[in-house]
Amino acid sequence: MTMSTLKELITHEHLLPVAPMIYAAWADGVLSDTEMTSLRAYATGQDWLDADAQAALGAWLDPEDPPSATTLTRLRAAISTSAGDLSQCHQMTLAALGERIATRENGQHPPAWYSDDVRAHIEAIEKNLGFAPKDAASAILLREGALPAAQRFEEPEADFDIDAMTRLLDGPWRETWKSVRALLASDAFEYVDDVSTDAYREQVLDWLKVVARHGFGDIAPKSKDPSMEEIGASMGRFMASFEALGMFDLSLAIKFGVQFGLFGGSILFLGTPKHHEKYLADVGSARLLGGFAMTERGHGSNVQDLQTTATFDPERDEFVIHTPTDQAQKEWIGNAAVHGQMMTVFAQLHTAGEQYGVHAFLVPVRDADGQPAPGVRLKDCGHKMGLNGVDNGRIWFDQVRIPRENLLDRYASVSPQGEYSSPIASGGKRFFTMLGTLVAGRISVAACGLTASKSALAIATRYGAMRRQFGPAGKPESPILNYPTHQQRLMPRIATAYGLHFAVEKLRQRYIETRGNEDNREVEAMAAALKSFSSWHAIEATQAARECCGGMGYLSENRISPNRVDVDIFATFEGDNTVLMMLVARSLLSQYRQQFENASIFTLARFVAGQAASAIQKRNPLVTRDTAPEHLRDADFQLRVFRTREDDLLGSAAQRLKRRLDNDMDAFDAFNEVQPHLLSLANAHAERVVMECFAEGVDAAQDPALKRTLTMLRDLYAMEYLHRDIGWFLENGYVEPQKSRAIRDLRNQLCADARQQALPLVNAWGIPDGVLSAPIAFPR
Amino acid sequence: MTMSTLKELITHEHLLPVAPMIYAAWADGVLSDTEMTSLRAYATGQDWLDADAQAALGAWLDPEDPPSATTLTRLRAAISTSAGDLSQCHQMTLAALGERIATRENGQHPPAWYSDDVRAHIEAIEKNLGFAPKDAASAILLREGALPAAQRFEEPEADFDIDAMTRLLDGPWRETWKSVRALLASDAFEYVDDVSTDAYREQVLDWLKVVARHGFGDIAPKSKDPSMEEIGASMGRFMASFEALGMFDLSLAIKFGVQFGLFGGSILFLGTPKHHEKYLADVGSARLLGGFAMTERGHGSNVQDLQTTATFDPERDEFVIHTPTDQAQKEWIGNAAVHGQMMTVFAQLHTAGEQYGVHAFLVPVRDADGQPAPGVRLKDCGHKMGLNGVDNGRIWFDQVRIPRENLLDRYASVSPQGEYSSPIASGGKRFFTMLGTLVAGRISVAACGLTASKSALAIATRYGAMRRQFGPAGKPESPILNYPTHQQRLMPRIATAYGLHFAVEKLRQRYIETRGNEDNREVEAMAAALKSFSSWHAIEATQAARECCGGMGYLSENRISPNRVDVDIFATFEGDNTVLMMLVARSLLSQYRQQFENASIFTLARFVAGQAASAIQKRNPLVTRDTAPEHLRDADFQLRVFRTREDDLLGSAAQRLKRRLDNDMDAFDAFNEVQPHLLSLANAHAERVVMECFAEGVDAAQDPALKRTLTMLRDLYAMEYLHRDIGWFLENGYVEPQKSRAIRDLRNQLCADARQQALPLVNAWGIPDGVLSAPIAFPR
């Protein structure tokens, strides 16, 4: 092939400075014919272009006779050759490039005819045609991107001690985390994808047995007659293991929760020493596999009305467990489809002609050979969206007889004569006390979902720091984590995961400290709020991570999508999130009522002070309009604004309810009508609780670098959740438009700041490489 | 067992009217000991209670000596017996119930000592203790819920003709929808769950062949040398089939799209008659299985920079296809892992020492026995979150030779001598013209995702109308669809699905009408916007449906969760949503620039008018404060407010960009910095387009009942999307707080209205029962 020089190709020396523009006009393809014509007309009548040059330019710009593809390709090559090495000066307009070419073709100086007027004229043409940016030249000439670099990290240094952060987060459960990390890094724990449901279930059971062999299934202390403190410490260790197992396969974590937490926990907390001695060791070692048969087809959320009966027969000193209707079948029972041998069954206790409400009974459902016990029918629930390593099943009982001693009788017992007795007189209170066993489960689900979100966020962040796509002309492509939209999907969730970590930790501590108390309603409400908040966060974070990794996030081997489908049910099991949030709202309303009706000086004063503070804030323009970063980043402001929203929503919810009840509306209907408002209230409450725990976590951090980093994340959490609900704050006059803008700007700036430390932040979660596992999370 | 009468149990006649309150005080369990004491103290010194009665009351209310569980249960039974049938008067306070009891025990009249003062006093106690609601009595006494009813519909009648609505939605593709419905209702199409990936892929291939046998794979008209109109009509039918297949398994729909749309479409639109004659019949009948090998590992979104080379060798009149680096491997290619025999491969064309950019080549990859062709390496992508019926694979080419004629040469050809020619001179323009083949794919993905969302919404709505949980005391439990939070999760998505239906229909029509035109940028931008909007809607709607069905939504047999995981990738493939939204924003910016720089009187006038309108709206308090429903439900207002937001965001985005470019920032960096703003702009644009198409759809409806129904849904769509972004409208002064509240209230009211017609609305989508399939969607 013959290579033409640029001068030959362009045919006239005076066209050299506009050659790049001629090329751009055709190559960029965005100029209409009209514009092309006007470019031609514009160039006409310039005295630096003689008639020959004008004719040549006309030929180049004739819409009726465009240059061929080959000509255009050659023009680019010739411009490129003529311009020489552009790598050091990619910031160049087309006019400047044209000047450089004309200069180089002329030797070292611009040609004599290239006056300042000519330059100004050419610059004006360029601007007029919309080729404004300073990098127009390279954008067009250096179109070929570099070969994509191998996937590797080129990230800023950590500006805090990653190990120190891991220790801070591990907190009181450092030893548990360390031993779970070590265990999961062993050979036994290798992910399986794309195996049959049967094989997956057996794999998960094998893992469960390994975990049990290492003692993680023991929820009860070793000592006989342990103190409340000892039981608390054991429970804490158990719950921390559950949380840490969330780093690996969630089917294992949930089966662990079913076997040891729900089945073992129901025996420990609802049973008495005779049950403990007989069963707990075998349960903890996974020799006796069992489950927690509460949910029925007809009653999932409304468990108080479940229909299975347990009728005492004094003749034979037995209870008869029975499924009266098909709607009373036990459904979704973990371990029921294949592995479970015994179940803690919840049923309405009948004795001596009275019904005493829901109680728990130990019922064998399979013999040693895995055959159903007499009168027991078992059925697989079938394939699910996720968690297919857990064998959920359905159970029907046909007059199944169990000894009287199989009633878990901590809160109620029946004498051989059929006389019922309970330390708790109220059926409702007794029921909710028994349900207290679910609180540890809810806390663990919150913790485990949080861990799963960390895993997905860590993988997506590591991938985003390595994966490159698009970039400035003539430069390497940019890591996708450098794009603001990408940062704004991942960074707020990383901040939330940090905040939630402190909140879950505090909740667990309070649960352990108060577990003995009869009235644990505050911890129960906190568990309900954080279980919902955490599971929704986990769904959102794994979803964002999935989308941020594109197709790679969709591949099972990259671990994000298995986490995504597994956590989906976290919003449903252990209490449907919306139902739990109603429970939270009712608890807040009940506290609110007591604040007034107890007329205790202290609570009233606190309330009035709270009202006054929010009223002041509402009216004081210095606060509603203050947009200074130091104000927005002040923890006091952050705490106040979250509290104010909650107080406001609580007060208005109470008023709305009262108005309806005063108008003789049914309580059921009244609550129904204000349900969306109550949901907002419960969400505001959960966000405030996390905000407070986050601020406390920051305050407690000693190391200045950790404190600085956590403060940045706390600020991001605060701005993120203010921003999400900014409509409410604006509508209610708590912020003015300029403040709303400042909040958004600060949130975006903090996302960019967090991005600088993104890798250290996710690495500090201490998920071992082998457990993280996803190929896209590692350089190659 | 001896049954005590209430009088015996309560020990004193004068305690009869407070017996319900005594029971409630213990049973409800919410009264603290302090409150119990105060109740006791309060009762003290009342002259209607003599010393004996006071002592008896004191005994009942002693916190140190609570009644036993048995006593409490008997107390309830005795109250119940004494009160007689309460079913007709469940609206009763505890005081009223006490009066009834005292009256009945006394014969027919209240006892003489029961004065008005006594009544007032008892009512005051009740109120004070917080048992305010009118249904307190039944709430406590009728605690046992009814047995849950069998799952069945008890719904309001349809107030429009469901079939007429189906016909309206089917629109011009009525025959296609009818034939796909009939086909899918046949025996061949039965869902499979929980089978191995291999078996699932073979099942999907079998389905594909059935679909092909019925002629749905023919994208080209039968006639030789068809007109543009004929090609358009064929494409339209094909795209409507793709949309309708979304009712069934999405792996089938996507494999259908890969085989016929992408593979067949690339041959039809990028090839010339020699290719059509040789291949199209075999492709359409699925005898020749193929795929569309564009995406590379290193370049997914940035396809212009992909690296595979196709170098012309004039010696042998062949192209040599080669994978130069591992990052250049073809990835995610549908049909590549197992079934594909030939691929349309996108590669950089090199000839005579020049590179001419990306072109498409037909490359055989497997022989008849399924063995890889020489030089071709194929690998399974592996297990995915969903769509496992589609065999995605990776491909490497090692100097693979194909005849010159395998270049799909509609837009460029190479002579035997290696001379390149193209009717489109600009490489960029040529590339984007070739990419135009993707537009039909994007439209079809938008349409298919919409159908999947309808299926999930139909199942969740039908289940929600039958599933009952909780309820007013003593009444049957309520269908969960009656709960406002439930309605507010499903109804707005149903409305959106209706609106999106009109938008997709219009987009498809415009695509068909303009397909011949070279400059199709407007349709391309609309396709990009609606593909993103629809896939995000589908993810959101299937997710809401999943959560609304609780555990049942998690079971694969109920079809929601398979749809959920399958549509997840719709946000990524055929163009990552965020990347597509940037394309939309750039297209809007480019139109905006032309509006000014073309200085056409017409466009300028339109723009200025638009600016003026929004300025007026911004300032006129009658508009910003108007909260009347007839104003909010006025289509003109709705259209104006969506347009105003888009215009405002477009203007401010342009200003921000200009400021950065004027300050000499790189175009790449400048676009980067305003990326989140551009994303908001593109979202506002997509929502406006759907709003407009929805309004047009309503206008076109003739039947008054359909028009009324569609208007209600259009209003709900409008309020939903205003409500979602209400922070923006408030911040920018387009609405005032009272209007913001009115928008939310109307949105919630419309959700309640739509709920009344929920079943007819989802039934009108015309998904046959057997295709809907989910057990939870049907009475039993």
Question: Can you tell me the mean pLDDT for A65-93?
Answer: 77
Residue A416 sits at the chain B interface (C-beta within 8 Å): no
Which of A607, A588, A603 is CA-nearest to residue A674? A588
Which of B168, B163, B95 is CA-nearest to residue B127? B95
**Which among A135, A484, A727 has CB closest to B666?**
A135
Q: Which of B127, B138, B383 to mutate to test the interface with A (most CBs of A within 10 A)?
A: B383
Q: What is the pLDDT at residue A477? A: 84
Residue whose tokens read 């998505």: B493
Residue A352 sits at the chain B interface (C-beta within 8 Å): yes
Q: One-letter amino acid identity for A31?
A: L
Q: Which two tokens stand for residue B491?
A: 């109804």
Q: Which of A717-726, B647-656, B667-676 has the highest mean pLDDT?
A: A717-726
Q: What is the pLDDT at residue B131? A: 62
CA-to-CA distance for B109 and B102, rounded, in angstroms? Answer: 9
* Neighbour-count burial of B45, counting CB atoms closer than 10 A to its CB (0-12 exposed, 13-18 middle, 19+ buried): exposed
Q: One-letter amino acid identity for B600?
A: S
Q: Show which of residues 115-134 on chain A sit within 8 Å of chain B, judged by CB atoms.
A: 128, 130, 132-134
- Residue A571 with chain B: CB contacts under 8 Å: 547
CA-to-CA distance for B157 and B152, rounded, in angstroms? Answer: 15
Higher pLDDT: B571 or B574? It is B571
What angle do helix axes B228-245 and B437-466 make, rounded to 10 degrees? 30
**Which among A193, A385, A555 has CB closest to B564?**
A385
Sort residue B505 into left (φ over 0), alpha (ψ -120 to 50) or beta.
Answer: alpha
Q: What are phi and psi of A331, to 5 degrees?
A: -130, 150
Residue B152 sits at the chain A interface (C-beta within 8 Å): no
Q: What are phi and psi of A605, to 5 degrees?
A: -60, -45
Contact: A422, B69; criterion CB under 8 Å:
yes
Residue A5 sits at the chain B interface (C-beta within 8 Å): no
Query: Poorest-confidence range of A22-36, A152-166, A574-588?
Result: A22-36
SS3 for A210-258 is HHHHCCCCCCCCCCCCCCHHHHHHHHHHHHHHHHHHCCCCHHHHHHHHH
Residue A740 sits at the chain B interface (C-beta within 8 Å): yes
Reported confidence tier of residue B35, pLDDT bands at 50, 70, 90: low
Q: Between β-strands B330-334 and B392-397, what pairing exists: parallel, antiparallel or unpaired?
A: antiparallel
Contact: A667, B133; criterion CB under 8 Å:
yes
Q: What is the pLDDT at residue B144? A: 47
Which of B234, B197, B196 is CA-nearest to residue B216? B234
Q: What is the pLDDT at residue B134? A: 62
Which of B234, B237, B289 is CA-nearest to residue B264? B289
Residues 6+ apart with CB under 8 A from B316: B401
Residues 6+ apart with CB under 8 A from A82: A5, A6, A16, A101, A104, A105
Higher pLDDT: A461 or A54? It is A461
For A555, nearest residue in chain B (alpha carbons):
B384
Domain with CATH 2.40.110.10 in chain B: 186-435
- pLDDT for residue A392 is more than 80: yes
Neighbouring C-alpha atoms within 13 Å toward the C-beta of B584: 29
Give the number of A-B residue pairs with CB atoms closer than 8 Å: 349
- pLDDT for residue A97 is more than 50: yes
Q: Which of A574, A646, A692, A720 is catalytic?
A: A574
For the annotated catalytic residues of B, the residue numbers are 574
Q: What is the pLDDT at residue B544? A: 98
H/E stretch holding A23: helix A19-27
Question: Can you tell me the mean pLDDT for A259-268?
Answer: 96
Contact: A731, B748; criterion CB under 8 Å:
no
**Which among B132, B427, B485 has CB closest to A675?**
B485
Write down the number of H helices and E strands in chain A. Answer: 33, 11
The per-residue pLDDT for range A468-496, each reduced to its tens digit, is: 888 777 778 899 999 999 999 999 999 99
Domain with CATH 1.20.140.10 in chain A: 441-777
- pLDDT for residue A618 is more than 60: no
Higher pLDDT: B53 or A697? It is A697
Contact: B29, A429; criterion CB under 8 Å:
yes
Q: One-letter amino acid identity for B183?
A: L
Which of A192, A173, A191, A186 is CA-nearest to residue A244? A173
Contact: B356, A69; criterion CB under 8 Å:
yes
Which of A455, A447, A464 is CA-nearest to residue A561? A455
Q: What is the pLDDT at residue A436? A: 78
Residue A62 sits at the chain B interface (C-beta within 8 Å): no
- pLDDT for residue A58 is more than 90: no
Question: Can you tell me the mean pLDDT for A60-89?
Answer: 78
Residue whose tokens read 């009066």: B99
Contact: A568, B546; criterion CB under 8 Å:
yes
Query: Poorest-confidence range of A382-386, A515-519, B509-513, B590-594?
Result: A515-519
Residues 6+ apart with CB under 8 A from A11: A56, A59
Neighbouring C-alpha atoms within 13 Å toward the C-beta of A466: 20
Catalytic annotation on A574?
yes
Query: Poorest-confidence range of A594-598, B427-431, B718-722?
Result: A594-598
SS3 category, B62: coil
- Residue B69 with chain A: CB contacts under 8 Å: 356, 412, 420-422, 424-427, 430
- pLDDT for residue A3 is more than 80: no
Q: One-letter amino acid identity for A294?
A: M
For A594, nearest residue in chain B (alpha carbons):
B130
Which of B486, B381, B28 is CA-nearest to residue A553? B381
Contact: B30, A598; criterion CB under 8 Å:
no
CA-to-CA distance for A376 and A396, rounded, in angstroms? Answer: 6
Percent of chain B residues topping a pLDDT of 90: 63
**Which among A145, A352, A577 has CB closest to B305?**
A145
Residue B677 sits at the chain A interface (C-beta within 8 Å): no
CA-to-CA distance for B243 and B246, rounded, in angstroms? Answer: 5
Q: What is the CATH number of domain B186-435?
A: 2.40.110.10
Reported confidence tier of residue A613, pLDDT bands at 50, 70, 90: low
Percent of chain A residues topping a pLDDT of 70: 90
- pTM (predicted TM-score): 0.89
Q: Which two tokens stand for residue B739?
A: 């209007």
Beta bridge partners of residue B334, listed in sequence order: B392
Q: Show which of residues 22-51 on chain B sit within 8 Å of chain A, judged by CB atoms.
A: 26-30, 34
Class (C level, CATH) for B441-777: mainly alpha
Contact: A193, B382; criterion CB under 8 Å:
yes
Q: What angle do CA A282, A183, A178 make, to 5 degrees?
A: 110
Contact: B145, A485; criterion CB under 8 Å:
no
Contact: B1, A353; criterion CB under 8 Å:
yes
ipTM of the complex: 0.88
- pLDDT for residue A624 is more than 50: yes
For the beta carbon of residue A247, count every other beta carbon within 10 angstroms: 26
Is the C-alpha dihedral spanning A706, A711, A717, A720 positive or negative? negative
For the beta carbon of residue A112, count every other beta carbon within 10 angstroms: 7
Q: One-letter amino acid identity for A585?
A: A
Query: Poorest-confidence range of A530-534, A745-749, B603-607, B678-682?
Result: B603-607
Residue A314 sits at the chain B interface (C-beta within 8 Å): no
Reported confidence tier of residue A743, pLDDT bands at 50, 70, 90: very high
| Whole-number Cα distances in Å, B325 to A309, B297, B298, B322, B382 | 68, 10, 9, 9, 21
Reported confidence tier of residue B30, pLDDT bands at 50, 70, 90: low
- Residue A673 with chain B: CB contacts under 8 Å: 484
Higher pLDDT: B669 or B607? It is B669
